[in-house]
């Protein structure tokens, strides 16, 4: 939507987080609203005072909010209801304003699981999740629900242990990786992310006969993904999860099917 088409009935959606300057959410959602000719606009707000931001969302009647670091957990205290998956995960990344009631969802989980299920059946697959931060948490719950045989490995083993105890799965330190032979390897650590693009969590020699999913989406192809491709592995890039989770948000806020190809295209153009 361009400025001249904003009217007094335009619905407002937003992302709240801190920092927020590099978020791609305004780009992806505004492109989708425009393509679908919806009278919506999306803005980004750097939020330090979360409670006040949610009060503001209610007072100004925002239709939807995307929630990012560091607010995904604390925001749950200020909502009217939280759907079951988000409650189990213990984090909300999406708020829908349904006639004044603020409902919390987690589209990171479904976004990642959808990306995986397009390529592979998850049940009983030996799956290693690298990392035990916020994104790992969402994905781990989704994997467990799908019946994957899950092991969580993290630099700080205590965090892997805590998450694994909630999920009821195996855990360990990153050094265990090379003694395991997974069907699926998922990187949820920030290793390899812009600007430290030479970093990778896994030695190239280890990447054999497995599906490799790196949720880092900037750069579009991380070193891990490039090396997995060179070794003939199937791969999924983080962009797929990013687009899926944004598409699910779009669908919650508008009730319309999201234009996923367009959403993917605008992010690829931006990051290429």
Ligand X SMILES: NC(=O)c1ccc[n+]([C@@H]2O[C@H](COP(=O)([O-])OP(=O)(O)OC[C@H]3O[C@@H](n4cnc5c(N)ncnc54)[C@H](OP(=O)(O)O)[C@@H]3O)[C@@H](O)[C@H]2O)c1
Task: Point out the residues that are catalytic.
Answer: 72
Residue 137 beta carbon to ligand X: minimum distance, rounded to whole angstroms: 7
State yes or no: residue 136 binds ligand X (CB under 6 A).
Answer: yes
> Three-state SS for 210?
coil
Q: Does 241 bind ligand X (CB under 6 A)?
A: yes
> Using CB under 6 A, which of the segments 10-18, 19-27, 74-82, 130-138 binds ligand X?
130-138
| Least spacing, CB of residue 178 vs ligand X, in Å | 15
Residue 242 or 253: which CB sits closer to ligand X? 242
CA distance 231 to 90: 37
Count H helices, E strands: the chain? 9, 12
Give yes or no for residue 260 binding ligand X (CB under 6 A).
Answer: no
Check residue 238 for interaction with ligand X (CB under 6 A): yes
**Ranges within 68-97 binding ligand X (CB under 6 A):** 69
Among 132, 150, 207, 211, binds ligand X (CB under 6 A): 132
Q: Indicate whether 142 belongs to the interface with ligand X (CB under 6 A).
A: no
Query: Is 10 exposed, middle or buried, given 0-12, 13-18 or 19+ CB atoms closer than 10 A?
Result: middle
List, as one string, the DSSP characters of 127-150.
Answer: EEEE--SHHHHHHHHHHHHTT-EE
From CA 63, how far away is CA 256, in angstroms rounded?
14
* Residue choice 25, 245, 249, 254 for contact with ligand X (CB under 6 A): 245
The residue within the footprint of ligand X, chosen from 140, 186, 191, 210 (CB under 6 A), is 191
State yes or no: residue 188 binds ligand X (CB under 6 A).
Answer: yes
In 3D space, the residue among 76, 132, 145, 62 whose CA is nearest the CA of residue 106 turns out to be 76
Among 154, 222, 235, 254, binds ligand X (CB under 6 A): 154
Handedness of CA 140, 145, 151, 157 (dihedral sign): positive
Task: Map residues 217-236 to x or -, x wherever contact with ligand X holds by CB under 6 A.
Answer: x-------------------
* Paired strand residues for 150: 127
Measured from the CB atom, the residue of 56 and 70 that comes closer to ligand X is 70
Figure out which of the listed residues 11, 155, 226, 260 binds ligand X, where binding follows CB under 6 A: 155
Angstrom distance (rounded) from CA 248 to CA 255? 10
Distance between start and end Cα atoms, the chain: 23
Q: Verify binding: residue 118, ligand X, rule CB under 6 A.
A: no
- Listed residue (216, 163, 221) closest to 188, CA to CA: 216
Interacting residue ranges for ligand X, rule: CB under 6 A: 69, 108, 111, 131-136, 154-156, 159, 188-191, 193, 215-217, 238, 241-242, 245
């Amino acid at each position: 939507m361009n400025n001249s088409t904003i009217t007094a009935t335009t619905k407002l959606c937003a992302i709240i987080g801190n920092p927020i300057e590099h978020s791609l959410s305004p780009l992806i959602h505004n492109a989708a609203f425009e393509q679908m000719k919806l009278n919506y606009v999306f803005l980004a707000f750097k939020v330090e005072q979360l409670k006040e931001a949610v009060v503001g969302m209610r007072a100004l009647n925002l239709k939807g909010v995307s929630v990012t670091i560091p607010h995904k957990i604390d925001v749950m205290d200020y909502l009217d209801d939280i759907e079951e998956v988000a409650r189990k995960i213990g984090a909300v990344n999406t708020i829908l304003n349904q006639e004044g009631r603020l409902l919390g969802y987690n589209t990171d989980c479904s976004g990642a699981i959808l990306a995986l299920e397009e390529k592979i059946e998850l049940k009983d697959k030996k799956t290693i999740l690298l990392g035990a931060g916020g994104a790992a948490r969402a994905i781990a719950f989704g994997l467990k629900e799908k019946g994957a045989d899950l092991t969580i490995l993290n630099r700080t083993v205590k965090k892997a242990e805590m998450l694994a105890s909630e999920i009821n799965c195996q855990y360990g330190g990153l050094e265990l990786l090379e003694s395991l032979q997974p069907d699926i390897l998922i990187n949820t650590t920030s290793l390899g992310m812009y600007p430290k693009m030479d970093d990778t969590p896994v030695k190239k020699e280890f990447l054999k006969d497995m599906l490799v999913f790196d949720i880092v989406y900037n750069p579009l192809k991380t070193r891990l993904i490039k090396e997995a491709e060179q070794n003939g592995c199937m791969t999924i890039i983080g962009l797929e999860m990013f687009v899926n989770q944004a598409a699910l948000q779009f669908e919650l806020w508008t009730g319309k099917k999201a234009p996923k190809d367009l959403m993917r295209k605008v992010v690829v153009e931006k990051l290429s």
